[in-house]
Amino acid sequence: MIHEVDEGLRRLLAGSGLEASGIEVVFDAPTRDWAARRSAPTVCVFLYDVREDHTRRGSGGGEVYDAEGLVVARRTPPRWFELTYLVTAWAGRPQDEHRLLSEVLSCLVAHDAVPPGLLGGTLAELGLLVPLEVGGTGADAPAASDVWSALGGELRPSIGLRVRAPLAGVARSTAAPVTEGLVVRSGPGLRPGYAPGARPESTDGAGDGTGGRDDAGGSGIGPSDEQHRLRYTELAEPAPGEGFGAPRERRPVPARRRRGGRQP
């Protein structure tokens, strides 16, 4: 999700005319060594803080459908995170840096959220807004002066940018939809003590003529690969697309018996 937010911001700034002017948009840490290697006008969007927005944590879940409209998975609700960026401009002179930073500020304040057309990946699939807050940082985010001290550089003019983005929940696949009735498949070893190739003896004594049939009427002799599909009584043959849920004829409701008298 974080790299998808980065790409959305890059497209947003590049579309404002920075890319056409030959200004590069990077996401590097503006350290002292990095500043010494820089040679062209650059806008640096440095991510330095990631925190979850617990106020937007939800419960339940959503369903994922395939091209035919069938449910193929169930997904937990997304988790929302606050991404805090430090936006700086780098040029040869302070005047050029201020002018460049002003262009970036005009581009960012013109949007309350990252335009949906600039989002990709899971952010585009979720279809949720990704709000922007320009000129401020989170209450628990480090101050800009602390960030510059940690980077080992000198304090420079910067724009605080906070982005709230959803992290897609975990999707768990569901079982395939039921389209046919239950099938019972018979196989060897239906009776205890059965051995392939052996003829079981009758429990009622030899020569009783039962042929090894049990009390339930089944022989239980020999393997079988027969398949039997369970069918419901008074159920019509299902039409295509109905599976085994075809309509069946309902019995008429019996007449109610009157109290103290005979049934009409």
Residue 166 in any domain: the answer is: yes
DSSP letters along 232-262, please?
Answer: -TTBPPPPTT-TT---BPPPPPPPPPPTTS-
Residue 242 in any domain: the answer is: no
| Average confidence (pLDDT) over 38-51 | 92
| Average confidence (pLDDT) over 71-91 | 87
Strands (E), the chain: 24-26, 42-52, 62-65, 71-75, 79-90, 132-134, 159-167, 171-173, 183-185, 227-229
| Average confidence (pLDDT) over 31-41 | 89
Predicted pLDDT at 262: 57
Residue 210 in any domain: the answer is: no
Task: Among 22-26, 138-142, 219-223, name the one with the lowest average pLDDT.
Answer: 219-223
Instruction: Give the span between the Cα atoms of 16 and 20, in whole angstroms.
Output: 9
| Average confidence (pLDDT) over 199-225 | 46
Number of domains observed in the structure of the chain = 1
Query: Do 152 and 102 form a contact (C-beta atoms < 8 A)?
Result: no
Query: Do 165 and 111 form a contact (C-beta atoms < 8 A)?
Result: no
Predicted pLDDT at 263: 53
- Residue 37's Cβ-side half-sphere holds a number of Cα atoms within 13 Å equal to 7
Name the more confident of 32 and 76: 32
Residue 192 in any domain: the answer is: no
Instruction: Give the span between the Cα atoms of 245 and 184, in whole angstroms.
Output: 18
Query: Do 63 and 77 form a contact (C-beta atoms < 8 A)?
Result: no
Name the more confident of 33 and 58: 33
Residue 59, pLDDT above cutoff 60: yes
Q: pLDDT band for 203, please (50, 70, 90 cuts).
A: very low
**pLDDT tens profile 102-153:** 999 999 999 999 999 999 999 998 889 999 999 876 667 778 888 888 888 7
Residue 69 in any domain: the answer is: yes
What count of other Cβ atoms lies within 10 Å of the Cβ of residue 138?
Answer: 16
Residue 231 in any domain: the answer is: no
Residue 150: which CATH number? 3.30.2000
Residue 32 in any domain: the answer is: yes
Q: What is this structure's pTM?
A: 0.62
| Average confidence (pLDDT) over 166-173 | 78
Residue 63 in any domain: the answer is: yes
Q: pLDDT band for 222, please (50, 70, 90 cuts).
A: very low
Host H or E run for residue 144 = helix 144-151
Q: Domain range for residue 47?
A: 2-173
**Exposure b/e, 84-114, CB count within 10 A at least 16 = b:** bbbbbbbbeeeeebeebbebbbebbeeeeeb
DSSP letters along 8-46, please?
Answer: HHHHHHIIIIITTTT-EEE-----HHHHHH--S-EEEEE
Q: pLDDT band for 179, please (50, 70, 90 cuts).
A: low
Predicted pLDDT at 212: 44
Mean pLDDT (the chain) is 76
Query: Do 255 and 264 form a contact (C-beta atoms < 8 A)?
Result: yes
Instruction: Give the span between the Cα atoms of 189 and 62, in whole angstroms.
Output: 45
Name the more confident of 227 and 110: 110
Longest dimension (CA), the chain: 113
* Closest of 223, 198, 203, 226 to residue 215, by C-alpha: 203
Predicted pLDDT at 250: 64
